[in-house]
Amino acid sequence: MNIFLGLIIIAVGCFATSSFYVPINKVKSWSWESFWIVQGVFAWLVVPFLGAYLFLPSETFLNIISSDGAAAGKAMFYGALWGIGGLTFGLGMRYLGVALGQSLGYGTCAAFGTLLPPILKGENLLDSPEGWILIAGVAVAIAAIAIIGYAGSLKSQSMTEEQKREAVKEFALKKGLIIALVAGFMSACFSLGLEAGEPIKQAALANGCHGLFAQNPVTFLVTLGGFFTNLVYCLFQNIKNKTIGDYVNVPGKVLLNNVLFCALAGALWYMQFFGQGMGKHFLAESPVMLAFSWSILMSFNILCANFWGIWLKEWKGVSRKTIIVLVAGLLVLVLSTLLPEILNRVMV
């Protein structure tokens, strides 16, 4: 029952996060680099800080964050690498749309983010039933992503250029595929950052933080590193594209509108990690599911992203075969989130 509850919490967080690009569409008169960094202020600074600070005793917040300087530094370093993935992630959606862009990015991220932490710790996944279960779960998830990617290819083939532009204004399949895969690989560094910050999490628990929220300080450190990467890039683009005036050269109502929708987008984006931290607390009774939690997070993100892709009519006009392939891929993805626990009960 606890495992099921944990999955529900993670799914709710992912549904919120997959919705974050919807408010962005309400932003007016700003370039991509301008709205991206403004939503990032909320997604990677303000909301993660509040998520950590509000659930810790206020007098111990700084002590916990700085309790292990090496762990904090590693978490922020991986966060900076993840920030590169975050940049290309946004570009992936720009060229492929919400559904396909997030699906490919999250799928690659799921595989690397799940397998790299135990490998970097020196674990041989081939030496234990649990390791084989982890590999099997990731393999099924990758298969699902491949099926969804094939659906995207069919979509591209069956649509006219006019239909492509109507669904995604800057649709570019080849460019989008490359960017989405790079984004997924670099985004997996977030998982490495959470792993590196484990001593910070333990310090939070030791200082009275409830297990549901103990990951929040680590999440804040990782997103802090990612924020600086995005800030440098977006300011560079502002200068290069002469869009630095976006922040001031708009009417007051437009500025307020943009900031509010960017704040909403940022808060929605953060909910995936708020939900994952809470969900992992309930997955603790199953070490296999706990190890697979990153892939579960990414899989739910993909499911929710495709819900929004259908809602936003990004798949409008495609053939029946394309829809069948897409649905098949999503069903296999659902199976991948449950497979580790099923195999664990059978094999272990």
Which range (47-56, 68-77, 101-110, 188-197) has the least confidence? 101-110
Give the pLDDT band of residue 102 (cuts 50, 70, 90): low
Cβ atoms of 152 and 164 closer than 8 Å: no
Question: How do residues 2-17 score in pLDDT, each as one tens digit?
Answer: 888 888 898 888 888 8
- What per-residue confidence (pLDDT) applies to 168? 53
Q: Per-residue confidence at 171, pLDDT binned at 50, 70, 90? A: low
Q: Which of 38-42, 311-315, 325-329 has the highest mean pLDDT?
A: 38-42
What is the pLDDT at residue 200?
95
Question: How many angstroms separate the CA atoms of 124 and 127, rounded?
Answer: 6
**Mean pLDDT to the nearest integer, 330-342:** 81
Highest mean pLDDT among 148-157, 279-288, 302-311: 279-288
Give tens-digit pLDDT for 224-241.
999 999 999 999 999 999
pLDDT given for residue 314 in this prediction: 73
Predicted confidence at residue 222, as pLDDT, reads 96
**Phi, psi dihedral angles at 215 (to 5 degrees):** -80, -15
Is residue 104's pLDDT more than 80?
no
Indicate whether 98 pLDDT > 70: no
- Cα 155 to Cα 130: distance, rounded to the nearest angstrom: 38
Mean pLDDT of the chain: 83
* Surface-to-core class of residue 212, CB atoms within 10 Å of its CB (0-12 exposed, 13-18 middle, 19+ buried): middle
| Candidate from 86-90, 184-188, 292-296, 318-322 with smallest mean pLDDT | 86-90
Q: Which of 66-80, 136-150, 197-211, 334-348 has the lowest mean pLDDT?
A: 334-348
d(C-alpha 316, C-alpha 155), whole Å = 9
Burial (Cβ within 10 Å: 0-12, 13-18, ≥19) of residue 313: exposed
Place 112 in a pLDDT band, splitting at 50, 70 and 90: confident
pLDDT at residue 45, as a whole number = 96
CB 65 within 8 A of CB 200: yes
Max mean pLDDT among 206-215, 286-295, 315-324 falls in: 206-215
